[in-house]
Structures are given as structure tokens and as C-alpha cells.
């Protein structure tokens, strides 16, 4: 009898261990019996086992534990086409968690996370593609306008390059209706319903992390922006040169006026001085005209005989040699 007790005890312990299972914190468990998920009593919903120690029917029951925490699906960026027929590359992420564990288990083929994310990714891409396809790039990249509507510097926008904006003139600002937040809200609302219905998961959040243009389009936009900046720079330089010429012409005119006024005043002063000098000379020479004539003759002799190479052919009896003759007579 004692020999039979040992095998019975071993079988009992083994059966007991096979009947127990533990669900870890952050997980939920479901039991599959004969390929079907056990349902909660009086309900069509799968029976969920909370974290802790639980029991099952050994051999016939298989336990599947599923992660009940919020998970992040951060996949590669995808290319979308806007209403302007332009490509944009959008990087997104989705936060989700399992809500209906039974539905999730059946849909994903046993609770495979990669399968769940592939199905969820398809829903996100389809919904986002519909939203992007009905909007322009300006609406996609811009958030809601939280500023005021006061007048500001207007910008000239090209239809094919939203990034190419140049300052034009002071005018009321053209408002751009940003719909980036609205796009995210619409996609979240759309995939929240379909994901729960088809996958049994709750989509907690959806965000667009980054919006880029393809490399070839970005390069063309950068070239266009550089050309526009250079055009604006040339315009400013030409305006600067024009203003410089105006300032230079005004300065030259002012200088010419000042010089002319100074020259006029100098001529007036010089004329008055010459008149006063002539008056003084006239007054002095009128007292002795003969002496004045003598000085004038000496000056004429000095100018005439200043150069030794000069030769004069003059009649000695002319009035020019009057004082020379008188000086010779006086000397004899």
C-alpha cells in the first residue's frame, strides 16, 4: 500500500502543477479548450484571467497570455499624394492596447503582435491616405492659426512651392487654414472604430511625427527658394544703388551750391578790395602824376628786358625811352 501511495502522490502533485498557471503583471490570460476560447459565464465574451494564480483543466486547456499594456507602433514613413498631386513622406506612430482579448486572439492567429500591427498599419495608411489626398501641402504642414488677424507683411506664394515665400509689400496677411491637428483627429476617430471592431484593440493615440518632401522635390524647392532670395537681393541692391545715386546727386548739388555761393561772395569781396585798391592808387597817383608815369615806365622796362635772349627793334626817339633819355641827360 505504501508503495502505491508514492506514485499516487507524484501523479497528484504533477496534476496539480499542470492545473495551475500564473499570469504576470501587465498581462492577461485566456484559456483555449479544444481549439475554442473559454467564455465567461452567461456571456459570449472570452473569460479573462487577471494577474495572479489560476487553475485550469490539465491536458485539455492551453493558456495564452497577452500583453495588456499600451504598445507603440512606430513603423517606417510612407509616401502619400496630396490633392495637388504632390508626394509627401509622413512618419507616424500609433499607441494601442488590447481591449477584446478573444477577438484579438482569433484575428491575429494566436495573439501575434506583428500580425496585429500589420493589420493596424493597413488601416492607418488607408485612413491617412484619404485625409492627405483631399488637402494641400500648406494645410497638412500647418497647425491651427492661434495668432491675431492684424495687418502684417504679405507674402507672395507660388502654387507649386509652398516653401517659396518672399516679402512683397505691406498688406493684410493671407491666412492659411492649418488642418494638421484635424487630420490626426479624423484618422484617430476612424481607426479607433474599425480597429476595435476588426481587431479587438483600442487605439489610444495617433500622431504624425514628421512630414517631409521627397529628396528630388526638396532639392528643386531649395533651388527655387535660392533663386527667389537672389531675386529679392538683386531688387534690394538696385533700390539701394538708386537711393545712393539720389543721395550722391543731392550731395553734389549741395556742394555745387555752396561752392558757387562761396565763389560769388569771394568775387564780391575781391571786387570790393580791387575797387578800394584802385581808389587808393588813384588817390595816391593823382597827387603826383609824373611820379606815377615814371613808375609805370620802370615796370615796362623791367618786363621788356627781363630775358637776356629778347631782342627789341624800337625807334629810340619814341615815347617808350623818354625817361631813359632824361636819366642820361641828368647823368651828363
Average pLDDT over residues 305-325: 67
Instruction: Find out whether 64 and 189 touch, Cβ atoms under 8 Å.
Output: no
Instruction: Find out whether 46 and 101 touch, Cβ atoms under 8 Å.
Output: yes
Instruction: Tell whether 237 and 118 lie within a shared domain.
Output: no
Domain presence at residue 219: yes
Instruction: Tell whether 86 and 204 lie within a shared domain.
Output: yes
Q: Which residue has the cell 484635424?
A: 182
Query: Of 105-109, 152-156, 238-242, 297-301, which gets the smallest average pLDDT?
Result: 152-156
Percent of the chain at pLDDT above 90? 29
Domain presence at residue 268: yes
Q: Distance between CA atoms of 123 and 116, rounded to whole angstroms?
A: 11
Instruction: Find out whether 232 and 135 touch, Cβ atoms under 8 Å.
Output: no
Instruction: Tell whether 198 and 220 lie within a shared domain.
Output: no
Domain presence at residue 97: yes
The tens digit of pLDDT for each residue in 142-183 reads 766 554 444 433 333 334 444 333 333 333 334 445 788 899
Number of domains in the chain: 4
Domain presence at residue 306: yes
Query: Of 28-32, 270-274, 294-298, 314-318, which gets the smallest average pLDDT?
Result: 314-318
In whole angstroms, how far apart are CA 70 and each of 27, 63, 65?
11, 21, 15
Domain residues for the domain of 234 are 215-287
- Taking the model in full, what pTM does it have? 0.55
Residue 231 scores a pLDDT above 50: yes
Nearest to 88 by CA among 138, 38, 124: 138
Amino acid at each position: 500500500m505504501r508503495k502505491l501511495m508514492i506514485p499516487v502522490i507524484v501523479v497528484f502533485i504533477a496534476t496539480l502543477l499542470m492545473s495551475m498557471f500564473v499570469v504576470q503583471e501587465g498581462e492577461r490570460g485566456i484559456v483555449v479548450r479544444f481549439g475554442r476560447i473559454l467564455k465567461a459565464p452567461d456571456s459570449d465574451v472570452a473569460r479573462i484571467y487577471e494577474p495572479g494564480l489560476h487553475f485550469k483543466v490539465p491536458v485539455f486547456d492551453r493558456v495564452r497570455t497577452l500583453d495588456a499594456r499600451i504598445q507603440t507602433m512606430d513603423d517606417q514613413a510612407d509616401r502619400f499624394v496630396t490633392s495637388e498631386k504632390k508626394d509627401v513622406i509622413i512618419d507616424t506612430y500609433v499607441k494601442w492596447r488590447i481591449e477584446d482579448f478573444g477577438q484579438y486572439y482569433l484575428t491575429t492567429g494566436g495573439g501575434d503582435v506583428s500580425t496585429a500591427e500589420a493589420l493596424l498599419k493597413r488601416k492607418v495608411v488607408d485612413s491617412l491616405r484619404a485625409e492627405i489626398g483631399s488637402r494641400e501641402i500648406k494645410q497638412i504642414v500647418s497647425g491651427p492659426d492661434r495668432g491675431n488677424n492684424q495687418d502684417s507683411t504679405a507674402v507672395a506664394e507660388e502654387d507649386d512651392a509652398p516653401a517659396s515665400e518672399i516679402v512683397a509689400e505691406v498688406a493684410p496677411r493671407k491666412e492659411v487654414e492649418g488642418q494638421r491637428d484635424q487630420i490626426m483627429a479624423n484618422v484617430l476617430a476612424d481607426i479607433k472604430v474599425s480597429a476595435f471592431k476588426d481587431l479587438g484593440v483600442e487605439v489610444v493615440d495617433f500622431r504624425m511625427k514628421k512630414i517631409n518632401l521627397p529628396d528630388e522635390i526638396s532639392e528643386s524647392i531649395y533651388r527655387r527658394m535660392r533663386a527667389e532670395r537672389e531675386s529679392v537681393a538683386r531688387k534690394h541692391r538696385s533700390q539701394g544703388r538708386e537711393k545712393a545715386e539720389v543721395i550722391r546727386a543731392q550731395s553734389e548739388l549741395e556742394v555745387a551750391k555752396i561752392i558757387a555761393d562761396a565763389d560769388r561772395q569771394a568775387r564780391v569781396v575781391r571786387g570790393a578790395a580791387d575797387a578800394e585798391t584802385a581808389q587808393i592808387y588813384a588817390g595816391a597817383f593823382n597827387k603826383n602824376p609824373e611820379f606815377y608815369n615814371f613808375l609805370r615806365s620802370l615796370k615796362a622796362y623791367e618786363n621788356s628786358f627781363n630775358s637776356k635772349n629778347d631782342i627789341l627793334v624800337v625807334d629810340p626817339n619814341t615815347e617808350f625811352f623818354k625817361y631813359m633819355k632824361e636819366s642820361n641827360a641828368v647823368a651828363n
